[in-house]
Amino acid sequence: MNNQNQPQKVGQRHQLWTSRAVALFFTLFLLSESTIANVKGYGLEIAQQTVSAPSVPLSADKQQRYQEGVKLYQEAQEFQKKGTREGYQEAIAKYQQALKIVQELGLRADQAEILMEIGLVNVYLSEYQQALDLYKQALKIWQELNQPLFEATALSMIGDTYNNMGKTRESLEYLKQAESSFRIQKQFRHLAINLSSISRAYMRLGETKNAINYLNQALEIYRTTFKDGKKEAHTLNSIAFIYSQIGEYEIALTHYNQALKIYREKQDLLGEAEIFKNIGSLHGKLGKHDLALDYLNKALEIQSTKGTLVDRGSTINDIASIYSSRGDYEKAVEYYQKAKLLFNESGWTTLESLSLGSIVSIYRNFLGNNQQALKYTEEVLELNRKTGEKDEEASTLNQQGDIYIQQGDYQLALDHYNEALQIELSITKNPKAAARTLGNIALLYNSLGDSNLSIRTYNQALDIYRKLDNKAQQARTLIYTGGVYQKNGQFNEALTSYNEALKLLNKEDYIYEISIRYGLARTYRDQKDYPRAFEAANLALELSKKHKSSFQEIASIEIIGSIYIAQGDYKNALDSYQKALNGYRQSKLKPKEAETLNTISMAYSFEKQYQQAISTLNEEIKLRQTLKDKTGEAQANYQIAINQRKLENLETALTNIDSAIKIVENIRTNVQNPDLRTSYFATVQNYYKFKINLLMELHKKDPSKGYNAQAIETSEASRARGLVELLTEARANIRKGANPELLAQEKRLQDLINAKEKLRFEIINSDKIKNPVFKANADNLQTEIDELLNQQKQLETKIRQSNPKYANLKYPQPLKLAQIQQQLDKDSLLLQYSLGEERSFLWVVSPTSLDTYELPKKSEIDKASINLFCLISQNSSKPPSATGKENPCQDTKNIKTRQIDLAAEELSKLVLAPVKDKLGKKRLVVVTDGALQYIPFAALADLTAQSTSQRGKEKKNQLDNKPKDNRGGGLIPEIDNLPPATNSNYQPLFINHEIVNLPSASTIAIQRQELANRSSTNKKTLAILADPVYNADDAKIRLQNARNKETKPKPSDSLGIELERSALKRSADILNRQGWGRLPGTRTEADTILKLVPDGDRLTVFDFDANYNWATSSALNQFRILHFATHGFVNDANPELSGIVLSLVDKQGKDIRGYLRLGDLFNLDYPADLIVLSACETGLGKEIQGEGLVGLTRGLMYAGGERLVVSLWQVSDEGTAVFMQEFYKEMLQESKSPNEALRATQLKMWSQEKWRNPNYWAAFAFLGEWR
């Protein structure tokens, strides 16, 4: 409390204040890397201050009062020296009493000094916000007193405190101000301290180059300007630590030894202890555990007599880490608990919370006690929030997310990860930590079965690590990415990832190298390249033994066992697995023990020792239940069911598979994001397929017990659940009652996604893609789009959670047989297919009966389906995504109609032969599976076909004596003009049957509930959009009054030159396009349809008006029929980006929003009786097991479309125009229902030779309500 000799005094205080706060942050940073920093002298060696004189002259009576303050100040310092929580609290009380006195006396400088002291003690207690407030009060005083050195010191302290709070950007702002001031004042000692603080801020951000650069500047000042050996050694120690964090272990050791030499010369035992501790930790990273413990115990021996509580706690914490690395987890917990108690006694809440975090990690990852781990994380989280340490709070949230994943609580895990990510991106702005969290989210996506989203998220993390030049974390991320590729069967990509990771490693990174060898072994194993698999696994084993890493050694043996089992060498597999099991049990690694029991059971099963396999799996289930691992428990029950079935214990197997399905249903329900719920459901479809097979076996043994009814109910429970739930949400108006701010955020996100996707699309579909610069831009845009799509998914979940309606929403259960039958009328039959690996099944359901049939296995049906699809689509579209291989259609050329007929007959024999005599002339409501989803059943062969002449009479009768086409020279011939006889007996199925497509029986049930009270009485007939303007080169832009003066095709030449020149088809495969070409036939199509509707009963838009604003207008909800005649496209990678193409430019040729995407449809209200998309492939989508085709159809159903007519492949501009003209004529003139009109149109087109090829008439499918 004396301002004499100001520079010297400020130097002492700044060193004291800053070294403590800086050391704390250093500790925090190191702890974030799972090591506690060596920090010396907390609360010790406090600089003795002269306190005999006040900062301004005082009268005698005030001098006495001042001396009372001096006494309190000195007492506070003594309490502070104790370095305990109680000591700090007593110190604060004394300082506050002294502060009150100097405030009474008006001693502003003394007041500021005491404020900074109280702030520093609050830092010791991890009360960072309070410290920050006190420092800012002091700063204001120093500024008012015009004391630049004190002011810069306060700025530095504020910067350090922000750093401790994880607010690194704010920290750097203050630290850089302090740096500039110190340089101007030439206060180099203060500058050196401040440079070290800046270094640590950059380390928190993962910017190691900047961190080392600033430390080297500080080192030069200590070494050259002040020749301060101790400070030089301390800085060398800091530099060494950074090198150890980035894997530069040799450089780190060199710097440690330089520092150690100086400390020995200075006889600084605490300094030596600090170096011993850090060298010990480094050896621990290198797997030299005995050597590490030697160094750490040397450090502890010194600290036990001379060090602080924090010194001892820090070293004990590192000893615990070594025991953990050695696999002695109970000993590790014991030492972590000791460290925790010391940190608690010292008052360092931050360090206490980080020791607790290490205990959490052991309980979760090794001892398998998730409940205990979760209990400790709640304690840690409370401490994090108390201290305001946002980075540590995010870290704890990540740990909680990890635990929830292990327990199968995926939604809770995702919520915690997203909360952590929000902190790291928005509050702490810590890219390295954000990358870590992104890695966790990617792992979760993989667990939920969304491998594409997982890879994209890992790539986001990888991009961050590359920018930070963090090679070790790049390698780690590539290892995880390789694992996703390997699991997904993308072996070349997996090998590329692993080998790229290998190139990034230093020789000391043995843990990562072992992980890479594991990945390579698994990948080669799955490729059946067993020699290479064994080579990689044995290399991992050798490395593990070399570094005395027991965990990795056991894991290597386990992987060797997996190679033996893949090779069919079950005896050696069991030997290896048993060794691994014993090792895991000895190490008390319950999660790994459970995994190994599972693989042992598989070996027993392959050896046909089914009962032994079941016993082993029951052991596993007990462990899974202890671990609260629901996913693992479900899998084990499923495998028991498989073994029980092999023992012919079918009823027992049914009990086990029911237990598995009950668990996965609960897990699925708890995942709130619909896309992730769907991807997870796809991963467990094998459970449902197994149960169906089992029930049908039981049915074969005893047809009287209704097992076949249970089988179709299981089939119903396994399909299109996501769509049913979306329709339920639509009915409940979930989005309409959502938080408007969240909806506004969603709209901004969607706009941003649209803008970036448009830019990317323009590059990849032009010659620009050949330019490396543009290609890089396109790749960057894709990365940004992926990130935005992730944000959009998270926001969708928030929108649901924020709506009170969602909490009360009850999703319908899948229909039982009686409920399915209630959906059918006497003229309809339901044909529901389930394709299986061993055999497939068909259920034929009427309102009063159920018949079941066994069909060939899935691979045969898929093969025939793909063959027919390739032929019938004439290669204008991609084949079903179920193939997962190269395009099987690529070699088919010059396709003849007869080839299609024969392919249709071949597929029909596989899927319809058993029921051909039972179909009569019923309406067929079809629920398909696998590649059958891409096949229009209208084009399948009627296996009851008669002779051509008989068919002619039959067809004539079926037209119900409707009037003939009186247009004269029209496009469609008289019905008497039958197709010529062929060598094939092919007759399309639609001749005798209406065909209705459904994703599941439950979808029509929920749709009927939604639409029960909807009326179309007061609605107008038709709103139609056609012939948009796609690019600025369109002739309409160059003409005045383009819309009115556009030359329209005359009726007589509507199929003439203009249409013939339309080389561009309605393509959905955006990767093969070169922009969108005009479709003049859509105008012809629209004009012809409009002639059937009175002017006042229709709404029409062409050209520039056929735009996004029109398509999203509320005016459309006043029409019964909505018709879009334009391009459409499907995005398999990101179904939400699939869409309908509207006008992309305005009348001036400027770009406008022109894509109506799937995401847009979920925000629209289209309460139409019928929605027609005469665009190509609009009925297709990404095939997801258990959900079917995910594309535009579900968005249109959600928006309110009761019936849909969509296309399955590209049809020529002319062919589409012809089809639609006749379809609307049948509906609007002949008063047929949409499904009846579709069938009549198909019949007319098939009856004329020009249009007989199914490519023209079978492309359009009907979905939805047939009544």
Q: Is 452 left (phi over 0), alpha (psi -120 to 50) or beta?
A: alpha
> So where are the chain's domains?
263-378, 389-469, 477-588, 740-807, 1020-1229
Report how far apart, in Å, the C-alpha atoms of 97 and of each of 87, 114, 449 are: 16, 10, 62
* CATH H superfamily, domain 263-378: Tetratricopeptide repeat domain (1.25.40.10)
Sign of CA dihedral 349, 351, 355, 358: positive
DSSP state of 1077: P
Q: Do domains 263-378 and 477-588 have the same CATH topology?
A: yes
Please name the amino acid found at residue 1142.
L
Q: Give the tokens for residue 533.
A: 């698999």
- 502, 515 Cβ separation under 8 angstroms: no
| DSSP result, 496-520 | HHHHHHHHH--TT-HHHHHHHHHHH
CATH class as words, domain 477-588: mainly alpha
**CB neighbour burial string for 830-842, b if at least 16 within 10 angstroms, e if fewer:** bbbbbbbeeebbb
Report how far apart, in Å, the C-alpha atoms of 200 and of each of 162, 206, 962 are: 12, 10, 86
Give the DSSP H/E element, type plus range, for residue 751: helix 740-764
Q: Closest by alpha carbon to 997, among 832, 815, 1174, 752?
A: 832
Q: Cα–Cα distance between 27 and 39 in angstroms, integer?
A: 7
Q: Cα–Cα distance between 1197 and 195 in angstroms, integer?
A: 62
Other beta carbons within 10 Å of 624: 26
Average pLDDT along the chain, 1267 residues, taken 10 residues at a time = 46 39 35 29 30 72 91 93 89 96 94 95 88 96 95 95 87 96 96 95 89 96 95 96 90 96 95 96 90 96 92 95 89 94 88 89 83 90 84 90 87 92 87 94 91 92 91 94 95 96 85 94 97 97 89 94 96 96 89 94 96 98 91 96 97 97 91 84 94 97 96 94 79 69 81 81 77 82 81 78 68 91 96 95 97 96 94 70 53 73 95 94 95 94 64 44 33 40 73 94 88 81 94 67 44 31 34 65 91 93 94 93 90 82 89 87 90 83 78 88 91 87 95 95 93 92 93
Q: Give the tokens for residue 1195.
A: 């968005």
Q: Which pLDDT does position 1031 carry in this prediction?
A: 82
Sequence length of the chain is 1267
What are the phi and psi torsion angles at 35 (to 5°)?
-140, 145
The angle formed by the CA atoms of residues 820, 824 and 826, to the nearest 5 degrees, is 140
Other beta carbons within 10 Å of 738: 21
Please name the amino acid found at residue 351.
L
The verdict on pTM exceeding 0.75 is no
Edge-to-edge strand ranges of the sheet holding 1170-1173: 850-855, 840-845, 828-834, 923-927, 995-997, 1260-1264, 1203-1207, 1170-1173, 1119-1125, 1020-1028, 1098-1103
Q: Give the tokens for residue 1121.
A: 């029929």
Q: Give the tokens for residue 910.
A: 């596989």
Q: Which pLDDT does position 48 carry in this prediction?
A: 32
Report how far apart, in Å, the C-alpha atoms of 25 and of each of 161, 201, 1260 are: 8, 8, 66
Give 1028's strand partners.
Answer: 1103
Q: Which pLDDT does position 1039 carry in this prediction?
A: 61
- Strands 1260-1264 and 1203-1207 turn out to be antiparallel
- 1104, 1146 Cβ separation under 8 angstroms: yes
Q: Give the tokens for residue 29.
A: 């940073």
Report how far apart, in Å, the C-alpha atoms of 307 and of each of 83, 122, 310, 807 are: 10, 21, 8, 56
User: Angle, to 10 degrees, between the axis of helix 451-467 and the axis of helix 471-487?
Assistant: 170
Report how far apart, in Å, the C-alpha atoms of 1252 and of each of 987, 988, 1106 are: 11, 11, 33
Q: Cα–Cα distance between 500 and 64 in angstroms, integer?
A: 74
Residue 578 burial by Cβ neighbours in a 10 Å radius (0-12, 13-18, 19+): middle
Q: Which long-range contacts (CB under 8 A, 24 or more apart) does 330-336 make?
A: 330/367, 330/588, 332/358, 332/362, 333/359, 333/362, 333/363, 333/367, 336/362
Q: Which pLDDT does position 1050 carry in this prediction?
A: 39
Q: Which pLDDT does position 98 carry in this prediction?
A: 95
Q: Which pLDDT does position 353 carry in this prediction?
A: 86
Please name the amino acid found at residue 369.
N
Q: Which pLDDT does position 1190 carry in this prediction?
A: 76
- 715, 693 Cβ separation under 8 angstroms: no
Report how far apart, in Å, the C-alpha atoms of 756 and of each of 750, 762, 782, 1028 are: 10, 10, 8, 21
Spatial CB neighbours of 967, under 8 Å, sequence gap ≥ 6: none
| DSSP result, 147-159 | -HHHHHHHHHHHH
| DSSP result, 1148-1186 | TS-B---EEEHHHHTT-----SEEEE-STTTT--EEETT
Tell me the helices (H) and strands (E) count for the chain, helix number first.
53, 16
The angle formed by the CA atoms of residues 6, 8 and 12, to the nearest 5 degrees, is 115
Report how far apart, in Å, the C-alpha atoms of 1176 and of each of 926, 1031, 1139 are: 22, 19, 11
Q: Reduced to 3 states, what is the DSSP secondary structure of residue 358? A: helix
Question: Helices (DSSP H) in 846-945: which residue ranges?
Answer: 858-873, 897-911
Rg of the chain over all Cα atoms, to the nearest angstrom: 37
Q: Which pLDDT does position 482 carry in this prediction?
A: 97
- 836, 780 Cβ separation under 8 angstroms: no
Domain range 389-469, CATH architecture: Alpha Horseshoe (1.25)
Q: Closest by alpha carbon to 1016, among 1122, 1167, 912?
A: 1167
Q: Is 979 left (phi over 0), alpha (psi -120 to 50) or beta?
A: beta
Give 995's strand partners.
Answer: 924
Q: Cα–Cα distance between 1155 and 762 in angstroms, integer?
A: 13
